[in-house]
Amino acid sequence: MHELSLCERLLELLQEESQRHAFRRVTRIKMAVGRFACVDPEALRFAFDVIRRDTLADGAMVDIDQPPGLVWCEDCACEREVPTRLAPCPACGSLRLSPRGGDELTLVELEVA
């Protein structure tokens, strides 16, 4: 499962951070998972719940933000929000779009103790 390997990476990152910044527990984790990141936030949450048992992140609150998919429409010269990567511009129907966001998969914020 894709989400499980992501969670393993996340946990490694948390352990590295805990050594670098000398904290022992993570109390809150905020992540951004873009609409186009091909990750299901609920599956991610579930996988993380399984993998973090008896680790420094056990019991931490997990917030997952889902930034919308953004594109730049060449024809409107404007940034638009689209529901899928292949959707046309919602304002003018153009397909001359460049991706501007929505693939993020990042750790935004940590609260630690």
For residue 61, state whether it binds Zn ion (rule: CB under 5 A): no
70 binds Zn ion (CB under 5 A): no
Q: Does 82 bind Zn ion (CB under 5 A)?
A: no
Supply the DSSP string of 9-62, one letter for each residue.
HHHHHHHHHHHHHT---EEEEEEEE-TTS---HHHHHHHHHHHTTTSTTTT-EE
Q: Which of 33, 73, 82, 112 binds Zn ion (CB under 5 A)?
A: 73
Query: Quick one: which segment of 20-28, 32-40, 54-62, 90-98 binds Zn ion (CB under 5 A)?
Result: 90-98
Strands 78-82 and 69-73: antiparallel
Is 89 an interacting residue with respect to Zn ion (CB under 5 A)? Answer: yes
